Amino acid sequence: MSVPPVIKGRYEINEVLGKGGMGVVYRAFDSVVKREIALKTVLDIADAKALELFQREYEVLASISHPNIVEIFDLGSYEEKGESIPYFVMPLLGGMTLDKLIRSSSHRLTVERAVAIITQTCRGLQAAHERGLIHRDLKPSNIFVMEDDSARIIDFGVVHKADALTTRGWKGTLQYMAPELIEMKPPSVLSDIFSLGVVAYEALTQRRPFELPSQHAILQAILHHIPPAASEINSAVSQTISQVVHKAMAKQPYHRFSSVRELAETLQKAFRGEPLEIFDPARIQPRIQRAGKAFEQGDYQFADEILSELQAEGHIDPAMTLLRGQLDQAIRQKRIRQLLDSARTRFEEEEYPLALQKVQEALELAPDNAAALSLQREIEQRRTEGKIEDWFRLASQHIDNHAYGHAREALQRVLEIKPAETHAHQMLAEIDRREEEYLAVREEKEQLYEAAMEAWKIGEVSSALHRLERALDLDKRAPDSSVPERSATYQTFYKQVRSEYDTMNNSYAEARKHVTDRNFAKAIAICDEYLAKYPGNALFQALKFDIEEEQRQELSSTIAEIDREVDAEPDLGKRVNILKEALERHPGEGHFERALRIMREKRDLVNSIVAKAQLHEERGQFTEALGQWEILQTIYSQYPGLNFEIERVRKRRDQQSRLEAKGRVVAQIDRELHLGDFRRALDHLKKAKAEFPKDAELAELEKLALQGIERTAEAERLFQQGQELCAQKRFEEGMETLRKAHQLDEANPAIRAALVQTLVEQARSVVDKDWPVAEELTRQALALDPGHAQAKSLRTLALDRECEEFVDGCLAQARQLQTAGDLEGAQKVVEQGLATYPRNPRLGQLHGTLGVAILESQRRQARRRDLEELGRLDREAEAVANAASAKQLSGRLQTIARKYSDDSEVLSVAKNIETRLAKVLSPLEKVPPKPVDRRAAPPAPKAGVPAPVPPAPAVEETMLLRGTPLSPPPSAPEVKPPAKPPAGQRPVAYPPPPMPTLKPGEAKVPVVAGEGEVEGWAAVERGPRRVSWTLIDAAALAIIFVVAVYFVWRSRQPPPVATVPFVVRTSPQGATIRIDG
């Protein structure tokens, strides 16, 4: 597999670090972070679904950060030969894999070091298991031992999600594979524990537990064989550690550790020499004793089951080892005796193969067993004597079937058993003679068959049929017993040839009949059909020659007749039809094809010339059309009506020339009339009338020219008169006169310029007095001269006057409505003005002021309604008769009080009502009144209820005037005038200033209450706090009057005029600019 030199634009491949069944590892350089890395490509990805599964599983692996799992830097794939090859990027580590450490430095791999490496591997594997990942391919080459003896799992090449439901064959290395994986069961945490147990066994003993020569033997060993204890191979390994490893390698998953964490902890305890309850010898002694008792009683199966179960659980004990050896020897001897007894039985029944099979099975268990060897020799001798007769019988059968080779082999077997057998030698000589005769007959038969095949291929059907009849006769006398299907082949081929022979004779007779009937086409078709199959058939060749000769004679007569008919027809189209019909009757005839091609070309040429002539005539190109008709006269003068067409086109050409000359004169006269050069137009008309007398169009043009001369003279007179009137300051009359002069002679630039200048001068004089008139005058001037600079300037000035007048009207109307108290109406008027002039600063400023005033009014109205509600609460509090009503009034009172936390008047009134309600509640509830602690924190608000307002500070003893604002209203936000738009642009819509918003539960701006609003409140204030209301009301009225006068005076102040600096440049430079004249 080749890999690109650079992957993903950043990983530069340098060299191969290692190869395996799952992929290749490369040393690479990361050009982005500037470091060396290891990049592994994964090969075992069968399809897109497997690639998607691989990417998901490695994304989970890359998210794991653990010191004993190699870090995954990146994950991706690249295309190679239309396949997607996934890869992942890892750090380039220093050290070696565990398998290299076992092979090269086994003396350095002490028990302590091996236990530490396996423990660290358990930690990393536990982290992967906790994320739902199963490794499935744990082996020493996938465990990397760093230089500081730390271990990392470096390869998750066949990582598997624990919740995956599919298993795609064996995945992993066979010698480390768990038994359940070999049985195609889903992988699990326990299968990884088995593999890790195998790795631990190899690390402790430097020997693989299932090292066997063949794959089948390895599979059987993993499924059934229990390897010797690690402590028996390496004396440095304690029996407890050996038991831990064997439990991890238990055949049944439920006998293994439940997790790698448990395996690591148990291994550490075993290394430290701590007692392990699961391997307590006292626990297994009763079971060992039961196995020994069963062995003594001859119940080997029960003893084997107990020992196998103990070994599967990982137990190791000297008594178990001794009993296992005795049990295996006893089972082996019992099996040998059973096999030899069975072999003797089969021998007596003359079932020699089965008897030998049983003896061979016994020798496999005990190769040196004397009884088995003796029985084997006796069986072989008896088999030999009985085989000679069978071989003679078999040889005779082979001779009868002409299978001389097999007969010779049977006799050779007889001679091998008994070399001096005379009958066998005689039969061999007879076989040689018969075989020679048989081969001669078979060779002749094969030659006849081959000759028949060759004759068939070259079309000699009769010869092939004769040879096949002879071959079939020989096959009946000496059939080929070695190839029985050969006779069937001869018979099938004979039937095919015979059928073809009969069909060919019938077809020849039919062709002869067609010739007699003068149906040459069908006869030729039959001949061609058979000559295509048998090109050398003389019978059909001769018949075809005869048919073609008769066809040529008939065709010559037809050609002469058709040529005469074509020459007599003058119409080219009909000539083509005659030749087409002849060619249909005689397809492929060269004479007709050539004549038809020439006639079609000539017809197409004539038609194209006619079409060109007609097209030129339709376009009015009569000279070109006449040229085409003359060409046609040269190449095909027989064309119907050709002379008439030529004469007609000549007349139309002459008429066209005359009309074109007149048209040029009329066009020139029209141009002169349009330009106002009526006298020159009249001269040209006189010359044209001499050439085209009595022409009605020219007569009308002459009238137009004379009228134009008269209008020009009248326009000149009015022009002079208009200038004189303007010079006398009679501008209205002068302008009207100039307009009439311009209407009479619109092409005169002097009249137009004078009229424009007069309109501009008049507009300048009235722009300050009557801007609508000025605007209309400038519009008329610009209609005559759109680029007139003074007219543009004056029009802009008039529009400014229009804007000022409109804005003044809007402001006056809005102020009038404001004075009358209709703030909403005033705001609507201002908004209508802003719709026309969106960026006017005066309208924008007033709009903001009105918005603030409307908010102020709304707040006052809200406060007035709440004060009225407090009055009603006060009256209801005097008449309250039960605790429920008092509590309901108290809730309504608190709702109003929360809105005005800073309003001393509202809070004072609320406090009085609250005091009255407390006095009412006290005798009803028989509970002493509890003073209200305003410093206490308010209760938590309920869902959907606004938070309570903090209590206001103590109210002064002096009663404030009810209805007077407690604090000055917020000032209206300052509205800055927008920048003046550039000249020539319409104002852009300017949004109104934002309205101030209130927080939930916050009270609006207080409202000034009048005298009528205070009715019913007199009874609220009682006792020593009551003051003289006359003086207080007078003071309040005075304050209200002063505020009203101030706002009226302010609204009539003229708005400030906005000043905008600008720079004026002239083109050309040095030109004079005049303002207001």
DSSP string, 304-318: HHHHHHHHHTT---H
Range with lowest mean pLDDT among 540-554, 777-791, 1036-1050: 1036-1050
Domain shared by 769 and 827, yes or no: no
Nearest in space to 1037 (alpha carbons), one of 1006, 1004, 1014: 1014
Query: Is 916 in contact with 877 (CB distance < 8 Å)?
Result: yes
Domain shared by 14 and 41, yes or no: yes
Q: Summarize the chain as % helix, strand, coil (round to 5).
A: 65, 5, 30
Q: CA end-to-end span of the chain, whole Å?
A: 94
Domain containing 106 — which CATH number?
1.10.510.10
Domain shared by 594 and 633, yes or no: yes
- What pLDDT, in 10s, does the model give residues 121-145? 999 999 999 988 898 889 999 899 9
Distance, in Å, from the CA atom of 856 to the CA atom of 858, rounded to the nearest integer, reads 5
Query: Is 288 in contact with 319 (CB distance < 8 Å)?
Result: yes
Query: Is 112 in contact with 164 (CB distance < 8 Å)?
Result: no
Residue 747 amino acid letter: A
Residues in the chain: 1077
Distance, in Å, from the CA atom of 709 to the CA atom of 686, rounded to the nearest integer, reads 15
Give the angle 942-944-946 at the CA atoms, nearest 5°: 75
Query: Does 915 fall in a domain?
Result: yes
Question: Alpha carbon of 149 to those of 119, 144, 205: distances in Å?
Answer: 12, 9, 19
pTM of the model: 0.39
- From the centroid of its chain, how far is CA 599? 63
Nearest in space to 122 (alpha carbons), one of 148, 143, 103: 143
Quick check: 603 pLDDT over 70?
Answer: yes
Query: Does 895 fall in a domain?
Result: yes
8-state DSSP, 387: H
Query: Does 621 fall in a domain?
Result: yes
Query: Does 532 fall in a domain?
Result: no
Distance, in Å, from the CA atom of 79 to the CA atom of 587, rounded to the nearest integer, reads 60
Domain containing 787 — which CATH number?
1.25.40
Query: Does 1066 fall in a domain?
Result: no
Domain shared by 885 and 1016, yes or no: yes
SS3 state at 96: strand
Assign 961 a pLDDT band (cuts: 50, 70, 90).
Answer: very low
| Residue 288 confidence (pLDDT) | 79
- From the centroid of its chain, how far is CA 312? 54
SS3 state at 757: helix
Distance, in Å, from the CA atom of 157 to the CA atom of 141, rounded to the nearest integer, reads 12
| Residue 31 confidence (pLDDT) | 94
Among 92, 110, 135, residue at a domain's last position: 92
Q: How many domains does the chain have?
A: 7
Question: Alpha carbon of 224 to those of 34, 211, 218, 309, 313: distances in Å?
Answer: 52, 14, 10, 12, 14
Quick check: 655 pLDDT over 70?
Answer: yes
Strand order in the sheet with 95-97: 95-97, 143-146, 151-153
Distance, in Å, from the CA atom of 303 to the CA atom of 331, rounded to the nearest integer, reads 11
| Residue 1041 confidence (pLDDT) | 61
Distance, in Å, from the CA atom of 275 to the CA atom of 943, rounded to the nearest integer, reads 64
Domain shared by 501 and 650, yes or no: no
Assign 34 a pLDDT band (cuts: 50, 70, 90).
Answer: very high
Among 278, 313, 336, residue at a domain's last position: 278
Nearest in space to 62 (alpha carbons), one of 138, 191, 156: 156
Query: Is 778 in contact with 785 (CB distance < 8 Å)?
Result: no
Per-residue pLDDT, averaged over 197-209, amounts to 94
SS3 state at 1060: coil
Domain shared by 474 and 501, yes or no: yes
Query: Does 266 fall in a domain?
Result: yes
Residue 968 amino acid letter: P
Nearest in space to 143 (alpha carbons), one of 124, 171, 158, 127: 124
Nearest in space to 200 (alpha carbons), one of 271, 126, 139, 134: 139
Nearest in space to 154 (alpha carbons), one of 17, 340, 9, 304: 17
Domain shared by 264 and 290, yes or no: no
Domain shared by 911 and 765, yes or no: no
Distance, in Å, from the CA atom of 624 to the CA atom of 626, rounded to the nearest integer, reads 5
Domain shared by 964 and 884, yes or no: yes
Burial class (CB in 10 A: 0-12, 13-18, 19+), 1011: exposed
Q: Which residue has 């030199």 as its token pair?
A: 5
Query: Is 291 in contact with 307 (CB distance < 8 Å)?
Result: yes
- What pLDDT, in 10s, does the model give residues 336-390? 888 888 888 887 877 777 887 888 888 877 788 888 888 777 776 676 666 677 7
Distance, in Å, from the CA atom of 938 to the CA atom of 953, rounded to the nearest integer, reads 15
Query: Is 394 in contact with 403 (CB distance < 8 Å)?
Result: no
| Residue 1038 confidence (pLDDT) | 60
Q: Which domain holds residue 484?
A: 445-510
How large is the C-alpha radius of gyration of the chain?
Answer: 63
Measured N-to-C along each axis, helices 485-516 and 538-568 cross at an angle, to the nearest 10 degrees, of 40
Domain shared by 77 and 24, yes or no: yes
Burial class (CB in 10 A: 0-12, 13-18, 19+), 647: exposed
| Residue 263 confidence (pLDDT) | 95
Among 72, 92, 112, residue at a domain's last position: 92
- What pLDDT, in 10s, does the model give residues 475-524? 777 776 666 677 778 788 888 888 878 888 888 888 888 888 878 788 88
Domain shared by 287 and 401, yes or no: yes
Per-residue pLDDT, averaged over 654-672, amounts to 80
Domain shared by 217 and 364, yes or no: no
| Residue 66 confidence (pLDDT) | 92
Query: Does 563 fall in a domain?
Result: no
Query: Is 773 in contact with 766 (CB distance < 8 Å)?
Result: yes
Burial class (CB in 10 A: 0-12, 13-18, 19+), 288: buried
Query: Does 672 fall in a domain?
Result: no
Assign 941 a pLDDT band (cuts: 50, 70, 90).
Answer: very low
